[in-house]
Amino acid sequence: MNAVDWYLLLAMLLFCIGAYGVLARRNVILIVMCLELMLNAVNIALVAMSNFMPGIAGRGVLFALFIITLAAAEVTVGLAIVIANYRNKRSVQADEFNRLKG
């Protein structure tokens, strides 16, 4: 295994842990936190690729910068939605948001 493979392995494990949290937990805020873990995993993969692949040298860092900025925007809007929903439902458990269920 090359150096980049170890970083990709770490990114993949972090991504799977985050995906498990998104799939299994009930609290919406915790789901947002696990989404952040998944975005971090993708960033690790991008930065590792751009560090070790001469064809795309340095491009991954730019991508990761933009992803971090978009993650900040996403967290702001997502948690605003969570708080607005909490005001109506008095709950942050994802499976209790079933008002649109037929």
Partner 1 sequence: MPHGDFQPIAFSVIAAWILVAAVGVVTLRNIVHSAIAMVFCFLGVAAIYALLHAELLAIVQILIYVGAISVVILFAIMLTEAQSGPVAMFFNRQSIFALPLSVGVAGVVSAALISAQLPGVGSKALNPGVWQISKALLSEAVFPFELISLVLLAAMIGAILLARREEEDR
Site for partner 1 in 56-85 (CB under 8 A): 57-58, 60-62, 64-66, 68-77, 79-84
Q: Is 55 in the site for partner 1 (CB under 8 A)?
A: yes
Does residue 40 come out as left (phi exceeding 0), alpha (psi in the -120 to 50 range) or beta?
alpha
Sole residue written with tokens 């993708």: 42
Residue pair 7/48 in contact (Cβ under 8 Å)? The answer is yes
Minimum CB distance to partner 1, residue 89 (Å):
10
By C-beta, is 57 or 100 nearer to partner 1?
A: 57
Handedness of CA 86, 92, 94, 99 (dihedral sign): negative
Q: How far apart are CA 48 and CA 6, in angstroms?
A: 9
Residue 9 identity (one-letter amino acid): L
Q: Is 97 in the site for partner 1 (CB under 8 A)?
A: no
Q: Is 54 in the site for partner 1 (CB under 8 A)?
A: yes
By C-beta, is 46 or 99 nearer to partner 1?
A: 46
By C-beta, is 3 or 102 nearer to partner 1?
A: 3
